[in-house]
Structure 1
């Protein structure tokens, strides 16, 4: 059997607070938000949202760099919605805004990069099996380069 592609170890600290050990990458503390937990760290839904946004940002950078472009200082923000589905809270949608550190005119073959970068994102494409994810991309001037279809 081959080694797993990724791993993390969770240890309960108190109540709903966990330490997550990423091995050589360090440890973080997570906690459920009130009223269940105390909100002493990001909760699982925030970690999921961060993973989606991080993967999309990295995929966009990869797609631009593939064509020898420099995306500049890329930033991302992500918001999510929780709704009751069959009586239980579920993450039902996320909205990710990606911002490039360059104006569009400075990036060759940007249209091709924008057309394909989401397909490179393992996390988002996996999550989209059950959660709606909208993605907007802007350049450094604020011009919308890609918006939800």
Structure 2
């Protein structure tokens, strides 16, 4: 039997390309997203930056989980992601590649079973595993009354 969870976010446009993002069920505040100039004002990260953030954050947390699983209490881990944004064959902007560097603060020799942790931590990462396989995305466009608009 498989388990499923639903994660829900709500966005509301507040400016040209600026949105307030609310994470339903969360007790923390909203996040502002925006496109950089010339489209937006750059008041927050854009979706490409959020995608790179999600991948890097998930990998860093997964590495931390794997290290702790083998009895380590590692010092804080740092991560840096570089998302390449380029035009595809159809001329549309896409993210074809994300590179992530995870930096340990501990010497490798001081960590127990580091080889085992490194061999499995990526398998714990929900976001990276999903992005690597491709994600099914179902899209509906609703009118003001919430009725789905027909699409070709």
Same fold, TM-score > 0.5, yes or no: yes
Which runs of no fewer than 5 residues in structure 2 stay unpaired? Answer: 135-152
Q: Which has the larger radius of gyration?
A: 2
Q: Supply the distance in 2 between the matched residues of 1:129 and 1:5 (Cα, whole angstroms).
A: 19
Question: In the TM superposition, what are the counterparts of 1:39-118 in structure 2 within 5 Å?
Answer: 39-85=42-88, 86-118=90-122
Return 5+ residue gaps in structure 1 as ranges: 131-149
CA-based RMSD? 1.8
TM-score by structure 1 length?
A: 0.82
Partner of 2:32: 29
Deviations 1:85-137 (A, max 9, x none): 1110001101101011210011110000000000100100111125xxxxxxx
**Greater RCO, CA 8 A, separation 6+:** 1
Q: TM-score with structure 2 length normalisation?
A: 0.80
Moved over 6 A (4+): none
Q: Which has the higher strand share?
A: 1
